[in-house]
Amino acid sequence: MTSLEVVTLAERAVTLTLLLSAPLLIVGLAVGLMIALFQATTQIQEMTLTFVPKIVAVMLSLLFFASWMMIKITDYTNDLITSIPDLIR
């Protein structure tokens, strides 16, 4: 196994991690921005108002994107397992 193969495996793993986490992070960011705007306009500074809607939104988006995420990670795992003979030569 050469250093190029190691770097390629690491690059694919990091890319997949970013790809899988991006939808959840974007939803959390959008909900957080909306809550911040709401708090700024109403002067309500309740701490639970910032966390509870974000948690609910991220959980709902996780339910929505779960099948796509499982397909992506299963495909990556299958590719990784099938490439083991080439990696250990």
The domain of 71 spans 3-87
Name the DSSP letter for residue 74: H
**Hunting for tokens 């988006």 — which residue is that?**
61
Q: Note the helical H segments in the chain.
A: 3-42, 47-82, 84-87
Please give the average per-residue pLDDT across 8-27, as a whole number: 96
Q: Is the pLDDT of residue 89 over 80?
A: no
- Cβ atoms of 27 and 61 closer than 8 Å: yes
Query: How far apart are the C-alpha atoms of 74 and 82, rounded to whole Å?
Result: 12
Q: Cα–chain-centroid distance for residue 79?
A: 20
What tokens were used for 74? 């299963």
Domain count, the chain: 1
The CB density around residue 87, as the number of other CB atoms within 10 Å, is 12
Per-residue pLDDT reduced to its tens digit, 28-75: 999 999 999 999 999 888 888 889 999 999 999 999 999 999 999 999
